[in-house]
Amino acid sequence: MTGYRKLQHVLDARPSSDGDGVKIRRVAGREAMRLMDPFLLLDEIRSEDGADYIGGFPPHPHRGFETITYMLDGAMRHKDHLGNEGVIAAGDVQWMTAGRGVIHSEMPEQEDGLLHGFQLWLNLPARDKMQPPAYQEFASAQIPVLELAGGGRVKVIAGELAQDDAVVRGPVTPGATNAVYLDIGLPPGGHWEWPVDPQARVMLMVFQGATDILNDGQMGIYGPGDGLAITASEAGVRALLLAGTPLEERISQYGPFVMNTPEEIEQAIRDYNEGRLVA
């Protein structure tokens, strides 16, 4: 590694709600989508009060991108129009490619107690937006974890890490965006360095503790370089590391649809209203 990436932007997750009144923390918005390319949005659900999430996310459509749901605590049940149904619990991941259209629901499998997880939206290139929808689900036991020498750990959901002449790959095969999705935990004062594809956009979302430059609820977006260095605060840190090749295409987004032009958004709305979105 010859050049470590420097922090360029900090995005603050803000309280919001979605679905049937589910309380979340959200990193999103027009400016965020430009800065996060190829990623679009990141939501965090974290509450022990069932009233904050019991309404869940009743059936709703998507077109033009991928959704990645990662659970840390509690459980959610997924159903979609393709007949897929399953429960993702602590440590599990669901990777759904909406493509030309999916109608699905995500409902809590509990009425109270800690529910903690993330949903990430990952854009698709224009050529792939109307591909057939696809669905992948991975149990926690299928997702490799690297134990670091200093006491930390890295869970490899997508992408790969090299360690001691071995390469550890996440269960998800990255598409055109070469997406990397890591769950990193470092002890107080812990330090970790990662060689980065110079072409990738790299960001770090802190959701517990802090680094020396980012606090809980902040996403840092890093500039160019071929290496990333993360140092935990005295409280330690837990964070999601996201990386991917920017698409550098136009983004037109309306609710659950992400396309390249307003005309394509209007077509998605017509298709949904006329029952053709998933035809």
Residue 1 pLDDT grade (very low, low, confident, very high; cuts 50, 70, 90): low
pLDDT tens readout for residues 196-224: 999 999 999 999 999 999 999 999 999 99
Q: What CATH number does the domain located at 7-273 have?
A: 2.60.120.10
Tell me how far apart the alpha carbons of residues 63 and 133 are, in angstroms, rounded to a whole number. 9
Amino acid, single-letter form, for residue 189: G
Confidence at residue 165, expressed as pLDDT on a 0 to 100 scale: 77
Radius of gyration of the chain (CA): 18
Cα 31–chain centre separation: 17
pLDDT tens readout for residues 84-113: 899 999 999 999 999 999 999 999 999 999
So where are the chain's domains? 7-273
Q: Are 251 and 64 in contact (CB under 8 A)?
A: no
Q: Residue 21: left (phi > 0), alpha (psi -120 to 50), or beta?
A: left
Cα 162–chain centre separation: 22
Confidence at residue 92, expressed as pLDDT on a 0 to 100 scale: 97
